[in-house]
Structure 1
């Protein structure tokens, strides 16, 4: 049992705002999340908070270390601090994944803003669709750019930018998206995430850092002059020091003590298409290479050709559907009948990755009006398409489908040998191919365990799985109310608990965790390496206990398909090894869509095997140039710390974070048990059953039933500080007025020994608590001040008082302390507060000094640029004098002297302007320093919490 005094203390301890560099600050965010605590992620999140003067941070951990989790911790902490204007900018294909990670792992509400939802918000009367109340906004790079004025108007508390290497060429005026976003987000706090902050040039690093903080370095010219040569050791070390406060990078090899990695094992199944399949492939491929196609919108020909080639490679069933759609559209065009949907919309029903690909695929030239000559061409094209479709529908079996049944038997045997479950995720790019695979598997020994996963899941088996799941989890927090999210959870749960094979379209490659499965089958292999890595990452991820087998198919008759597989395997190392795709290689290609376009161009332009081989040889050579090993070594020296140094830091982080997390959860459950006494049944230290909504909960939506702390079974309401019940419990304890009373602490009944309290057993005295809030540098932190004295006058330090309040106790009658006692307690509290204020002042002085050093560097950089121009003119003067001295003709000598005078006049003018410019830079620096100094002033408020009379027995 605890008392109301304990409860008030616990409520304030749970909600106090902590120092920016304290592990305790993140305890609430971690405790309220469905994530396992990894020390490198805590370290990265605390790095992002390191200084209240910081404009942001660049988190550059290697691929696979969970940068999304790191950012999620930062977001969750900002959310807990009521700083809820948060924007996440990500590649369009990662928006859903972000939504799901925030929802499932951090229990945070988010909305994806795109054209449809933006326009709906306008129709609903919102003048600013980006101003979403109590939800994190997620949008794509392209959408943020097109709505840049809206983005700029919102006073964001935090902007998170994923795959931020897309911004690394922001120093080039030609990079429109990066420069547009930089200007729009200039004064916002930003968190950039990328595994590849530096690929080909140190200027890329300058670009990313300047995107975060324009005062970190001078202009690009001065940066290039000082730092662009990695061989200059003195400047290189100076650059490393200046990057330390803004760039954070951890390597996979440094965290192996915390994260056990398994291997990827490749398994290749070759197949030979039957004569009909081969003939269909050649006919459609030749058709797509025609110069004057009528069927494909000229503005989207490249994109539509890519999609049709992927469907052609997927199955005869997939291409048959597409050919029929195109033929019907051409007939409508010939008859001048309008078609309600676009070809893109029709194809996207089967090829689900189309929308995400189209976002990054530029339009071709506009479509031209139909002419008389076109009509004959259309009629001929319709005939061709109908003949292709007829051939496709006549083919009942695909050689690759037969190969799948064969390789599944081998792959399951391999998984069994490795100790993994006999479960397989099969990826295809086509919904029609998915249906075909379901048919052939329904006639196989695996028939009962097959489940589909796609963008809609309207098939009867999926609907039945969903209905059972909803019934089983009714009343629990597993049910979100979103059919899409709940359907995904239902299908994954079925696959884990009952199924054996999941056949997934690209919808299954994002945002789902299949670590219980260790067999990935790429029935269709994407050309985009990032999408391949995403697929395999569903299984080969943190938490996977077994080696993951990756199955790919190779068409013996298709030279281009064979080369694509070889490129993805050998150059990108996607299918084997411990870590999978190298971040250096994935980062080198900028965007997987760009690489996909290069592959598509080879398929489209090359007709003979020797042309295909030559084109792939050129592509492989270009990739080798892009993946510069010298720059890789530079990155290692510049951004990476010694392994032992990192491991020791992570060990300390691990210990600190676990202590704070355990204490946070214990405090929350002790407080909850006290406040819900008589209204809930407590089962253990982490769960309880609420019988009915408490009458004092002020109308909050609080259902009855089982509650559990996060990271438990998931079959209950997830209880945390941010849950309406948790908020109501804390509010009640905080608001309760407490008159001084006697409290009997039961040390004899306490489990375990607290040596610091033993000298006070059998004694009594007084204890007071106050809440002190210190505001400086636009940050507020709370400190609970505790002071005590024994009846014989011996003072109790803050740690003794804190430990005393961990002991169970019973409340006695009210008491009235004498004025002298109150004065002495106040003096002790004041002394504690003064020590804390001094510590805050020293810490802020360090922040100020670091910021002043940064601004000194910025000012010096700009002066270097100005001095460079004068040195350049000095060089030209010397050259002009030499030329004049060596001139023979009088006219040449006079012309030389005239040039010397002009250059000297320019130099003198530059010198005068240099002094003026240096004065302006110094004034600008002084103004920035003055702004920071004004923010350093501390504002202190102290509120009394309670006084009690203690007895320890």
Structure 2
């Protein structure tokens, strides 16, 4: 390929420049760098979040299943590329690992989960603010963000992502402690909120979420209520829609069906009846857990511990045996006056989500203190409790065969038959909530028909087979970028690869529901079923996700002898619709239950309080009636008016955006490929399919692997996710350190004045505009321009004209570098020519500066309109209070005239005087408030003004003589 250092320099600057906020090409580098498919609605949402540099953020509210995490990932990648790396993600506890893994797998972004253990470790190391990091994105849970709010507040964040943000929608209520703590801690930083349900039950929720982004969109809650809380007319909703449009972006599933295919969910219920021994064990332990006083469980966590024990009891006799043994040892330690281990830590060894559940339940946990001293009567009671626990333990030990496990073989046969009918891979993902049950099922399946076809996946992954799989994976992938150096991440990747290529069955604890992509599997078996609907949705989402080619079969186990279990399943299936249909639980349903923890607590309370089948039925009937996942018709209409755009309009926009973004991306990938070929011509062998083999490292100081590399090239009708990447191949992308070093080096190329011959006839690109210049010569100058005002924007200025003096269009002249070319001789360019080139460059520069200033003026005007509206809102609120007081005074005066008793009449007049005094004070407050509003407005204007000043940097890259042949 004919390609010059001038081509390489020009394209390297083009590949690394920062585009304006309104350009569809802004995210091209991030999209190429990420291992995600191009979906125009996600690019559109990411662009929306960046639409104004003065914006305080956005609410991305696409419906469930459209990939809001991907949208956030694109935004985070862009921030990272711009070296804005103080980034925070606040998310539900059970989604922390998923974020951590998706950022690594899809966007190659490093992140750290901060929780008590890692936070305290950092403090011990001398890091006084563990949130302050430059090399990792920080991920933490909602409760942790609340408890560490002062640390978050003092960290200068570039961007904060808040996932499942509908949890904060009641922030306008002072009683909502977590929401208000997070709002206050993040007030000064740009935020992107992710939620499918920005509006559920009340229009005030919209006010709450918008206020988290920007307190200046609306006035206070009183003014908002006075304007929008009554029965509104159509024009009121349209006014409100106009006010929230700069903040909220929403796409619906029906608007993207052209380019996203969704598969269905097929539910199978596997019913079983436990044996008499299993029933005896269940009833005995259940009655034990219902006792008023238990010494084995700490008072401060009684509700939480009871939930966990009930889940282990329902899982298997092996799971509950180990737990009963732990409880016996704890009580025996009390009698021996020894310090026992922390029960939650012990349970977490088996029930791996114990710490996460504790984190989620922490706000509402019992405040009762644990006992430190025991009376003689207590000690006698403890001895009796030990004897009871030993009986249950002995009974559990004698039950070697579980009815539920026997039905697993029947369930798998049904599931595999359904997969064969669908033409899907014969693979099953079995979920259990207990590691002991996991081990029991592994041994049972290995012994009966599935030898060497079963594997485990849990939070530790330290069993013999997992270690062997990991060891072999390291050997196979030696010298590739697939090995990250993180043992946890690499082991997870190894196990997923093994499941994909070798195993038939993966038995997983909840750890597998967090952050791994198993779309090659389409059979999920809920051996143990969580009570939290969002955890179930998370499990199914490992397989039933974008890119799944087959319908997904979901098998659920149901104990027909347990009335409570039957009613729980009925709610999850019929009320929440988790197991059937294209999308599972709708956004309205999941939004209605908040984080699912309250629902889980209600179920736990029914198991704890109800003793007879009649009590159980009555309690579940009440719960079913209370649940209102179906949003009422009026709110549906309001939601549609405020948040949704016309389908045809959206589809047309997305179709146009897709075509344009694909062109940007294709050109970007081609340019990266050309520069790489040029630079590595002596270091690598190149193939025609955008792959090459690096024979030796061109940058010895960097750790860069030799061997095969591949660009995952996007094209129309071809998705990145469908490209098969051999195990030993490194994914080559603009963010890879090899590409970064190549581009940096090419930007430093020495490019003296020379003749460059561009060969139009040998190039595949056909550019009609350039054809008329074939055979002509001329001069060209290329400069880089950077404008720093609200944001940085980079441009390449191209001045080009022929010997006859005809000036080429700047954009078309730049296309010369898409043609093949070769270097001619050194040519000293005439000073007169250079002067003309400088004049053209100057004109181009002024045009760009003017456009930038015009955009900034528009941003400024938008911000001013918002501030004016906010000021009006604040005045409305105060004026309403005065008006209400006036009305109350008139009423009191009228009532006072009717009073006959003089003493009462005087008292009434005194009350009226107090109200008049209060009204006068309110009037004074109104005047003061108007001054304060104006002052706050001035402060904001000063801040904007200081950022408006443009700082301009210009640098000449090269000047050449050109010839087009």
Tell me if structure 1 keeps the 8 A contact 2:455–2:507.
Answer: yes
Query: How far 1:445 sits from its partner (Å)?
Result: 2.8
Shifted more, 357-366 versus 68-77: the winner is 357-366
SS in 1 for 2:819: coil
Candidates 615, 634, 641, aligned match of 2:638? 634
CA distance in 2, matches of 1:799, 1:215: 41
Tell me if structure 1 keeps the 8 A contact 2:592–2:629.
Answer: no
Task: Name 2:744's counterpart in structure 1.
Answer: 731
- Cα deviation 1:456-482 (Å, max 9, x = unaligned): 122222222212111111111111122
Task: Name 1:708's counterpart in structure 2.
Answer: 710
CA distance in 1, matches of 2:915, 2:343: 64
- Cα deviation 1:245-296 (Å, max 9, x = unaligned): 1111111121111110111111111111111111111111111111111111
- The equivalences for 1:770-785 within 5 A come to 770-777=783-790, 779-785=791-797
Q: 1:841 and 2:841 equivalent?
A: no
SS in 1 for 2:783: strand
Q: In the superposition, relative to structure 1, how do residues 868 and 698 fare at CA in structure 2: closer, same or farther (>3 Å)? A: farther
Shifted more, 902-911 versus 349-358: the winner is 902-911
Q: 1:931 and 2:949 equivalent?
A: no
Task: Name 1:520's counterpart in structure 2.
Answer: 524
SS in 2 for 1:465: helix
Shifted more, 430-439 versus 308-317: the winner is 430-439
Task: Name 1:313's counterpart in structure 2.
Answer: 314
Task: Name 2:960's counterpart in structure 1.
Answer: 948
TM-score relative to the length of structure 1:
0.97
Q: 1:410 and 2:414 equivalent?
A: yes
Q: Supply the RMSD in Å over aligned alpha carbons.
A: 1.7
Shifted more, 143-152 versus 546-555: the winner is 143-152
Candidates 813, 838, 857, aligned match of 2:869? 857
SS in 2 for 1:551: strand
- Cα deviation 1:854-889 (Å, max 9, x = unaligned): 111110110000110121122123213322444455
Task: Name 2:113's counterpart in structure 1.
Answer: 112
Task: Name 2:81's counterpart in structure 1.
Answer: 80
- The equivalences for 1:77-476 within 5 A come to 77-229=78-230, 231-339=232-340, 341-362=341-362, 363-364=365-366, 365-368=368-371, 369-476=373-480
Query: How far 1:127 sits from its partner (Å)?
Result: 2.7
CA distance in 1, matches of 2:911, 2:287: 65
Q: In the superposition, relative to structure 1, how do residues 905 and 410 fare at CA in structure 2: closer, same or farther (>3 Å)? A: closer
SS in 2 for 1:359: helix
Task: Name 1:664's counterpart in structure 2.
Answer: 668
Task: Name 1:577's counterpart in structure 2.
Answer: 581
Shifted more, 69-78 versus 496-505: the winner is 496-505
Q: In the superposition, relative to structure 1, how do residues 667 and 882 fare at CA in structure 2: closer, same or farther (>3 Å)? A: same
Query: How far 1:128 sits from its partner (Å)?
Result: 2.4
Task: Name 1:749's counterpart in structure 2.
Answer: 762
Tell me if structure 2 keeps the 8 A contact 1:200–1:626.
Answer: no
Tell me if structure 1 keeps the 8 A contact 2:62–2:68.
Answer: yes
Task: Name 2:590's counterpart in structure 1.
Answer: 586
CA distance in 1, matches of 2:747, 2:933: 51
Tell me if structure 2 keeps the 8 A contact 1:669–1:685.
Answer: no
Query: How far 1:626 sits from its partner (Å)?
Result: 8.2
Candidates 477, 497, 500, aligned match of 1:496? 500
Tell me if structure 1 keeps the 8 A contact 2:592–2:628.
Answer: no
Task: Name 1:692's counterpart in structure 2.
Answer: 696
Query: How far 1:799 sits from its partner (Å)?
Result: 2.2
CA distance in 1, matches of 2:387, 2:869: 71
SS in 2 for 1:946: strand
Q: 1:811 and 2:823 equivalent?
A: yes
Tell me if structure 1 keeps the 8 A contact 2:593–2:629.
Answer: no
Q: In the superposition, relative to structure 1, how do residues 312 and 678 fare at CA in structure 2: closer, same or farther (>3 Å)? A: same
Task: Name 2:603's counterpart in structure 1.
Answer: 599
- Cα deviation 1:488-540 (Å, max 9, x = unaligned): 11111111112111111111111111111111110111001000000111111
Q: In the superposition, relative to structure 1, how do residues 117 and 890 fare at CA in structure 2: closer, same or farther (>3 Å)? A: closer
Query: How far 1:737 sits from its partner (Å)?
Result: 2.6
Tell me if structure 1 keeps the 8 A contact 2:458–2:509.
Answer: yes
Residue correspondences, number = 949
Shifted more, 633-642 versus 95-104: the winner is 633-642
Query: How far 1:902 sits from its partner (Å)?
Result: 5.0
Shifted more, 579-588 versus 72-81: the winner is 579-588
SS in 2 for 1:133: coil
Tell me if structure 1 keeps the 8 A contact 2:519–2:544.
Answer: yes
Query: How far 1:151 sits from its partner (Å)?
Result: 1.4
- The equivalences for 1:611-630 within 5 A come to 611-624=615-628, 627-630=631-634
TM-score relative to the length of structure 2:
0.96
Query: How far 1:685 sits from its partner (Å)?
Result: 5.0
CA distance in 2, matches of 1:733, 1:598: 63
Q: In the superposition, relative to structure 1, how do residues 144 and 893 fare at CA in structure 2: closer, same or farther (>3 Å)? A: closer
CA distance in 1, matches of 2:810, 2:621: 71
CA distance in 2, matches of 1:408, 1:394: 26
Task: Name 1:533's counterpart in structure 2.
Answer: 537
CA distance in 2, matches of 1:70, 1:5: 36
Tell me if structure 1 keeps the 8 A contact 2:752–2:958.
Answer: yes
Task: Name 2:717's counterpart in structure 1.
Answer: none
Task: Name 1:32's counterpart in structure 2.
Answer: 33
Shifted more, 502-511 versus 932-941: the winner is 932-941
SS in 2 for 1:101: helix
Q: In the superposition, relative to structure 1, how do residues 343 and 915 fare at CA in structure 2: closer, same or farther (>3 Å)? A: closer
Query: How far 1:939 sits from its partner (Å)?
Result: 2.4
CA distance in 1, matches of 2:832, 2:28: 39
Candidates 614, 624, 634, aligned match of 1:610? 614
Q: In the superposition, relative to structure 1, how do residues 441 and 235 fare at CA in structure 2: closer, same or farther (>3 Å)? A: same
SS in 2 for 1:349: helix
- The equivalences for 1:875-890 within 5 A come to 875-888=887-900
- Cα deviation 1:751-809 (Å, max 9, x = unaligned): 242211110001100111111111222x1101101111101111111122111111111
CA distance in 1, matches of 2:763, 2:870: 58
Query: How far 1:684 sits from its partner (Å)?
Result: 2.6
Task: Name 1:719's counterpart in structure 2.
Answer: 732
CA distance in 2, matches of 1:918, 1:136: 41
SS in 1 for 2:94: helix
CA distance in 2, matches of 1:410, 1:920: 70
CA distance in 2, matches of 1:205, 1:938: 36
Shifted more, 555-564 versus 799-808: the winner is 799-808
SS in 2 for 1:447: coil
SS in 1 for 2:772: helix
CA distance in 2, matches of 1:898, 1:56: 51
Q: In the superposition, relative to structure 1, how do residues 707 and 228 fare at CA in structure 2: closer, same or farther (>3 Å)? A: same
Task: Name 1:873's counterpart in structure 2.
Answer: 885
Shifted more, 422-431 versus 122-131: the winner is 122-131
Candidates 767, 771, 774, aligned match of 1:758? 771
Tell me if structure 2 keeps the 8 A contact 1:230–1:634.
Answer: no
SS in 2 for 1:760: coil
